[in-house]
Amino acid sequence: MTKQPIWLNIYGFIVLALFLLGMYLGLVVSPPDGNMGELIRMIYAHVAVAWVGFLAVALAALHSMLFLWKGSFKDDIRAVAHAEIALIFASLTITSGMLWSKPTLGVFWDWDAKLTLTALLASLLVGYFIVRGLIDDPERRGRISAVVMIIVMASLPFNYMAAKWFRTLHPAKSYNVDANGLSSTMSPIFVKILLFNVVVAALIYIYFFIQRNRIGQQEAEIFAKETELDVKGDFIHV
């Protein structure tokens, strides 16, 4: 494996510092909510990983579609990188949702619409990797798994609108993005801390993606050399 660039190490330390700052803001600076009390602190992590996890699924589907269109193995590798991180973030979303459910409902699991749809999303992501593991031919594996990822992405609108369409414990949207920018029914301090943690989660996601993409490309190059597979010369070094 090639040596990790210095800029990536620096970026990692910056992200770690911002992560610790986000924890401090959420656990110390944030006041209790009038309705949720101390549980408001869970929202900063839960919402952040959920939003970024949905973004990861969308990007995985985008690179899957690019692979179907162009046939570049770089897009297949990037789709896998996005999908792996999406599965991690989906798992964190489910876990944090269960931890929120226990003190509020007395149980870790309730068949809440959004929680159930997120569990379905995670299951579909697991299925994506099972499909990849069952197919040996790289091109066929990439094309079939790309179709699976597009199906996974199709579940996102249902998850996003679940609080409006179904009976759910999740509140309806407390924020709106319009011509005037971001407006919210939440107290400004809650919004600022939440958005800060969302940005931090996105930066963490970018760091993990860069690392996974580097590993994926190097693995593919080694595989191509060992099998004398024509990969169309489209691998790049990061």
Residue pLDDT, tens place only, 82-114? 999 999 999 999 888 888 777 777 777 776 677
Q: What is the pLDDT of residues 180-230, one digit of tens each?
A: 444 455 778 888 999 999 999 999 999 999 999 998 888 777 766 766 655
Condensed to tens digits (0 to 9), the pLDDT of residues 15-49 reads 999 999 999 999 899 888 777 777 788 889 988 99
Q: Identify the band that residue 136 occupies on the pLDDT scale cut at 50, 70 and 90.
A: confident
Q: Where do we find the tokens 């800060």?
A: 196
User: Which residues make Cβ contacts (< 8 Å) with residue 206, sequence separation at least 6?
Assistant: none
In this structure, is the dihedral angle defined by the CA atoms of residues 117, 119, 125 and 128, taken in order, positive or negative?
Answer: negative
Are 61 and 153 contacting, i.e. CB atoms less than 8 angstroms apart? yes
User: Tell me, what's the pLDDT at 227?
Assistant: 67
What is the CA angle 126-83-8, rounded to 5? 140
Global pTM value: 0.82
Average pLDDT, the chain: 82
Rounded-to-integer distance, Cα 143 and Cα 94, Å: 29
176-to-2, 131, 141, 197, 198 alpha-carbon distances in Å: 44, 38, 40, 18, 16
Residue 52's pLDDT band (boundaries 50, 70, 90)? very high
CA-nearest of 97, 12, 9 to 53 is 97
